[in-house]
Amino acid sequence: SPIGNYRGALDLGMKITAMQDIGSELHPSEYIHQVRRLDESTLLIPEGGRSHLAEVGIKQLAREILDWTRLRGKEQFTVALPSGTGT
C-alpha cells in the first residue's frame, strides 16, 4: 500500500503508466514526448531532484535539514536520500 509522497501524489490524481503494461519499448521520457505529448496543463520534471526545475525545492530541503540539525547541539546525523518512488 503506497505511503508518503507517493501516496500523496496518487491522492492528487497522479497516474502511473508502466511501459511493459502498455507494450511500449520506448524509454519513459520518449513516451511522454512522442505519445503522451506535453501541453500547457502538464509540468514535466525529469529525474526528480537532478533536474534544474527542482533546484529551489532541493535547496529549501537542505536549509530545513541544516536548521533542524543546528537545534540538536553536538549530535551526529546521517542524511539518507531517497531514490525513486519504489514503484
Position with higher pLDDT, 21 vs 43: 21
> Strand, coil or helix: what is 4?
helix
Residue 11, pLDDT score: 94
pLDDT for residue 48: 67
All structural domains of the chain with their residue ranges = 1-44, 48-80
pLDDT in tens, 32-73: 889 888 888 877 777 767 788 888 888 998 899 999 999 888
pTM over 0.85: no
Cα separation, 43 vs 46, in Å, equals 10
Contact status, residue 38 vs residue 32, Cβ threshold 8 Å: yes
Cβ burial of 47 (10 Å; 0-12, 13-18, 19+) is exposed
Tell me if 46 sits within 8 A of 29, measured CB to CB: yes
